[in-house]
């Protein structure tokens, strides 16, 4: 009888202890549950992120000149991503080793990209920069 009561007590302690766990500590990827990074393509995802975040105001078409990054089409975005220039910029990484000495995290004006948008760009790069 004592073994049964002791066993029930242990089971209750385990269940009560798990109840108070913080979900983000138990599953750190929980914050990304609403962020689908599967099958990310340039045309379905990346182009709209770049357009909606005003990247193309400075880095698109005629606005891009000289050594400025050009992000107005798939080929130029893919080239920048493969050179390692795109992800540090959208992550706002100030310690970018492959960027020029005068590198500034982007965007210089306005709000930074959301964690989900950054994760989608990273997933696109890691998935092979599909169009």
CB 93 within 8 A of CB 86: no
Instruction: List helix spans (H) across 1-131.
Output: 2-19, 23-26, 47-52, 56-59, 74-82, 86-91, 115-126
pLDDT band at 64 (very low <50, low <70, confident <90, very high): low
Residues 6+ positions from 100 with CB-CB distance below 8 Å:
67
pLDDT value at residue 21: 46
pLDDT band at 56 (very low <50, low <70, confident <90, very high): confident
Largest Cα span, the chain: 83
pLDDT band at 72 (very low <50, low <70, confident <90, very high): confident
**Which pTM was predicted?**
0.66
Mean pLDDT of 1-8: 78
Cα separation values, 89 from 23, 31, 55, 107, Å: 30, 22, 11, 8
């Amino acid at each position: 009888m004592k073994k049964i009561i002791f066993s029930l007590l242990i089971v209750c302690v385990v269940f009560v202890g798990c109840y108070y766990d913080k979900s983000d500590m138990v599953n750190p990827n929980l914050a990304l549950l609403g962020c689908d990074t599967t099958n990310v393509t340039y045309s379905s995802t990346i182009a709209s992120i770049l357009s909606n975040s005003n990247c193309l105001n400075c880095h698109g078409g005629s606005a891009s000149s000289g050594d400025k990054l050009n992000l107005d089409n798939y080929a130029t975005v893919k080239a920048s991503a493969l050179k390692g220039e795109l992800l540090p910029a959208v992550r706002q990484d100030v310690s970018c080793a492959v960027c020029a000495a005068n590198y500034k995290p982007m965007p210089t004006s306005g709000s930074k990209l959301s964690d989900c948008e950054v994760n989608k760009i990273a997933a696109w790069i890691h998935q092979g920069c599909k169009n």
